Every structure is written in C-alpha cells, then in structure tokens.
Chain A
Amino acid sequence: MRFTLPEIRRASLTSMVGIEARRFAKHPLFVIGVLAAYGVAVWASTLDTATSGGEVHVEGVLAHPIVPAFFIGLTSLVVAASLTRSTDVAAEAMGTAPGSEARRTLAVAGACVVPLVAGLGWLAELFVIVAVRGTHPNELWFPTVNDGYVWCILLALGPVSCLGGGLLGVLVGRWLRFRGAAVVAVVVVVAVDMLGQMPYAYDDDRASFRLWVPWAMFHAGGATEEELNGIPAYSQALLPGNPAWYLVYLLVLCALAVVGAIWHDRGARTPRVRLVAVGLLVAAIGCFLLAALTGISDVVISGPIDQAG
C-alpha cells in the first residue's frame, strides 16, 4: 500500500487533546498526586531549620523538585498509561474511524500539558514559600551560580519531570500490554534514577555521567550533623554538569517518548517520522554530552548553614 497521507485535520487533534486533558485532570490518581505535591511543599517548609539573623529560612531549595517529580510525575505516568490504553478497549470501532491510533496517541501526549501545568503551579508555590520565608545567605543561589542555572535545575527536575512522567506513561501504555505495566514502569524509573546516578554523583571525575538518567540531582547535602560523601556537616553541594543542556536533554527525551508511542501505529511509520526519530536520538546524545562536559566541572561546596535549635 502506498502511504499517501490525507490532509491533517488539526482541529480534530485539538478537540481530542481537550477531551483527553479533561480526563487527565479529573483522574483521581492525578488529583491525589497534585494535592500531595502541593501539601508536602508546605509541610516540608515547616521542617526547615536553617537560620540566619534569628529567622528560620527555606532550606535546600534545589532539592525540592523531587516532590513534584515523585507525586505528580510518577502518578502522571500511571494516569497517562491508563488513558492511552482506555480507548483501546473500543479499538475496533475507533480503528475504523478516520482518526488513527497515532492521532489518539498524540491526543493523550498533548494532554500531558496538564501535569506540566501542575508542575509549574508547584514551582510558583515554592517561590511563594521562598518569598515569604526567605533563604539563608549560603543557600545555593547568589553568587555561586547565576539565575539561569537555578531556573534550569528547578524547571528540569520539577515541571519538565512531571511532563516527562506523563509522556513516558503514553509510551508504556502503547507498548506494554500486561496488567500492572505502568506500576512496573514506575518502579523501573525510580530504580534507574537511583542506581544510574548514585555510583557517580560524588565522584569529581565521573559525576557528570549521572546526567544520562531522566531525573538527575544537581544538589546534595543539607542539615546533616556529620560529613556525608565529602560534603561537610550543615553544608550543601552543587554537582557538576550543565543544567541548561540537561533541561534540553530532558525535553528531547520527552519528544522521543512521543515518537516512540506513535511508532506503535504502523501507518504512522512514515519517512518523516523515521527522520525525526533519528534526529531526536542524535540530539539526545549530543545534549547529554553537552550537559556532562560543560558547565560546572567540580563539586561546589557552600559555606555552613546555621541551624535553629
């Protein structure tokens, strides 16, 4: 069969994205994840003990993005996988409609803007907390690194991880058909993230290799009473790497997840899609290398952060 594509009906795709986005936002698991992320952010700020000038401040700002990544990103993985597979139960009827499986996949992928927005909302909440409580002078902001550095870390590890969790869920929903596949994917993602970076994170020579994982920490240390992994007590550390390129790397991985999910539809395996897939693979490798080989080259240790009590 010749693959001559019909006219693309963008309006149809927009409508489908809207329907899927509403389903995503109303999914109980997603709602619980968002409430948990926003709630934990507030609760965690009450546990901070960093003091300066007699006042308690927000501590370890760059470590906070694990909260939305965990509560929103991982739940979004499960929700997106569920949404992707849910319309497959009516696959035979829907498969004979003009809208192809690839278009349905794109619609769920487009709906992953919902976890992205939730992640951005969490970031806004964090900055409200920081504005209200302030940060310790030795907190890793000025003059250790510039604003852009900090923004890239927060965006990459927070909202973009929420987006990435959802898109990974779309990929899992398309390709893995066994019961509990999404939960297995969550466990695998967490294991890969932990095991993929821990061996290198504190090694000056190899720390940048950790950046291949989809959620790589740039921050370590905090309110520990003893030295840990070479970080003095009550100090924080910035790990090597370039967070701007890491952010781009994650966005490329997000795009690859979408292409991988679309690839499941044989009718969508056009020369253009193949070209895009190859291009994204090359871009991912390039971005990883730039993230690993540029930016901060050594672990940067902050000054001591006074603790309350």
Chain B
Amino acid sequence: MSVELNGVGKSYGGTPALRSVDLSLGTGVTGLLGPNGAGKTTLLRIAATSIAADGGDVRLLGRDPHESHAELTEIRRELGYLPQELGYPSDMTTFGFVEYVAVLKEWDERRARHREVRRVLDLVGLGDLAGKRVSRLSGGQRRRAGLAQALIGSPRLLVLDEPTTGLDPTQRAQLRRTLSVVGHESSVLLSTHQTEDVAALCERVVVLADGQVRFDGTVVDLVATAVGQVWLTDSAVPQAAVTWRTGTGRHRVVGGPRPPGAEAAEPTLEDAYLLMLGPDAAPLPA
C-alpha cells in the first residue's frame, strides 16, 4: 500500500479538519471529492508530508514519516506534490523552475536532469514554452508547470490538489491521458471539484465531508447509489431540492419523490455526489 491512514485526525486551532480518517491506497488513480471545507486539502497535505497529523497512524510508501528525518526524506524522494495554490519565482523560466525542483529532488547530473525536465514539460504540453517566464504564462499553463514539477522522477506517490483548475477541456483530456499512464505504476491521489474528471479517470473515489470519509469505493459503486433516484421531467419541480434545467430543455431532478410524469434517468457520478452531500442529504453523524 502506498498510503495507509489509520484514525488520522487534524485540527486547526481547535477546529477539526479531519476526524479519525481511515484510508488505504495502492497503485492506481483515486479521486477525492467533497465540498469546500471537507478536509480534502488537509488530507492531501498529510499524504504529501507537508503537514503532520495530530493523531493516528500515517504510513507512506511503507514508511512512517514521523519516525525520523531520514525516513521522511526517503518518502519525499519518491513523492510528487502539486499543492492547491502554488507560487512561482517571478524571474524563473518554465524550464528553470522545473529544473530547480529537479535539483531539489536530487537530479544531480546536468544532462540527465535537463532530459527529465524536457520529458515532463512535453508530458504536460509545455515543451514549446520552456523558455518563457513563468510569470508570463496563463493560469492554466502555470498549473501545468506545477504538475510538471510534481511528475519529476516518475514518483511512486503523486498527490495532486485540484490539478484541473484553470485547464480547458482539451488540456483536461491531456491531463487525464497523462495520469492514466502514471496510474499504472504509481499511486495517484487527486482532489477535484469536477466529478466528470473523477468519473473519467479514477478507479476509486473517496468522498469526504466534515472531516470524515462518507464513501470509499469504486466509481461504479458510488454511481449505483443513485440508481432509481434521478429523473427527467418536462416541467420544473420547484419543491425538489436538487433540480435544474438542462440544455435540452428538460429538467433533471435528483433525489426526493418521483415527480409526476417523470422518467428515470441514468445517474451520473455528480448525481450520486449530490445525493450524498447535497441539500437533501441525510445529516452526518456527530
């Protein structure tokens, strides 16, 4: 297992961000879903060794990051991390920034390092922009530069916090392609608000809410929880908790009693998520 969390908790100034989280991840791509403030970033930061948990056991790549500085360093040698918010030194080029991280990741030999930097930049579609200053890249391009630095050295554990932010559909498709390849040999844990990215890319999904795991299983199993609870109608259903008018002019209704004249619709991952955590969802246990 690449990530093993047992009873992990984390609080900020008395406010719990994570409450006794149990999680085990192996090779493959796992999506982390949840509303804002659910604890996703906190969980990812613990997995990335950016912060320490307040309680519970954490094992990453078979090692305990709290045991010693040497163990922590060994974990970090096989770890790639893209934080939710990543700043860039304003004077660095895209190549220079990724190269700097490569040096920090102990790519000592210059030629090999430059080859690796070019490889990851090509992987994220920034090969042609290597010489451009990071400060002059668009938001989506900077996000891809951040992803490139995380991919240096093909890490065994890749932790990505909202990697698709700012990416257009073509770039998101490219990212999915990249991560699907990476996921064959590494453990990828990513958080996103885009349920379609999780549906398209992840074998497994973890739904986090209020610092607790609400669901941990396959995407198919999560979607299955919404079967028989999603409908399409021709007219609006004002009393429905989750409903909206689709592009075809029909109204999609998620959860609640079946509206009169409605027909059952194939549920999506988003529907299952809304059922689990939307306004109509059952309250979480204390």
Q: Which residues does A use to contact B, with CB under 8 Å?
A: 1-6, 9, 11-12, 14-16, 19, 23, 26-27, 86-99, 103-104, 267
B104: min CB distance to chain A, Å: 3
Q: Does B196 contact A (CB under 8 A)?
A: no
Q: Is the CB of A94 within 8 A of B106?
A: no
What 1/0 flags go to B23-66 for Cβ under 8 Å of A?
A: 00000000000000000000001001110000000000000001
- The docked-state distance in angstroms from the alpha carbon of A4 to that of B63 is 15
Of the candidates B50, B72, B103, the one whose C-beta lies within 8 Å of that of A19 is: B103
**Stretch from B88-96, B207-215, B218-226, B272-280 forming part of the interface with A:** B88-96
- The docked-state distance in angstroms from the alpha carbon of A5 to that of B74 is 11
Of the candidates B66, B85, B91, B106, the one whose C-beta lies within 8 Å of that of A86 is: B91
Inside 8 A of A16's CB, which chain B residues have their CB? Answer: 100, 103-104
A253: min CB distance to chain B, Å: 28
Q: Is the CB of A6 within 8 A of B104?
A: no
Q: Majority SS of interface residues in chain B?
A: mixed
- The docked-state distance in angstroms from the alpha carbon of A286 to that of B254 is 79
Q: Is the CB of A4 within 8 A of B89?
A: no
Q: Is the CB of B108 within 8 A of A19?
A: no
- The docked-state distance in angstroms from the alpha carbon of A26 to that of B133 is 14
- The docked-state distance in angstroms from the alpha carbon of A15 to that of B112 is 13
Inside 8 A of A4's CB, which chain B residues have their CB? Answer: 68-70
Inside 8 A of A5's CB, which chain B residues have their CB? Answer: 69-70
Q: Is the CB of B69 within 8 A of A98?
A: no
A and B contact pairs by CB, cutoff 8 A, 17 listed: A1-B67, A2-B68, A2-B69, A9-B108, A15-B108, A15-B110, A19-B103, A88-B87, A90-B86, A90-B89, A92-B45, A93-B83, A93-B149, A94-B101, A97-B101, A103-B104, A267-B69
14 more CB-based (< 8 A) A-B contacts, given A12-B108, A92-B45, A98-B73: A2-B68, A6-B73, A12-B104, A19-B96, A27-B91, A90-B88, A90-B97, A93-B81, A93-B86, A93-B101, A93-B149, A94-B101, A96-B79, A267-B69
Size of the B side of the interface (Cβ < 8 Å), in residues, is 42
Inside 8 A of B113's CB, which chain A residues have their CB? Answer: 15
- The docked-state distance in angstroms from the alpha carbon of A9 to that of B109 is 12
Q: Is the CB of A92 within 8 A of B91?
A: no
CB-CB under 8 A for A94 and B104, given A1-B69, A19-B99: yes
Q: Does B77 contact A (CB under 8 A)?
A: yes
Q: Does B146 contact A (CB under 8 A)?
A: yes
Closest residue of chain A to B152 (Cβ to Cβ) is A97
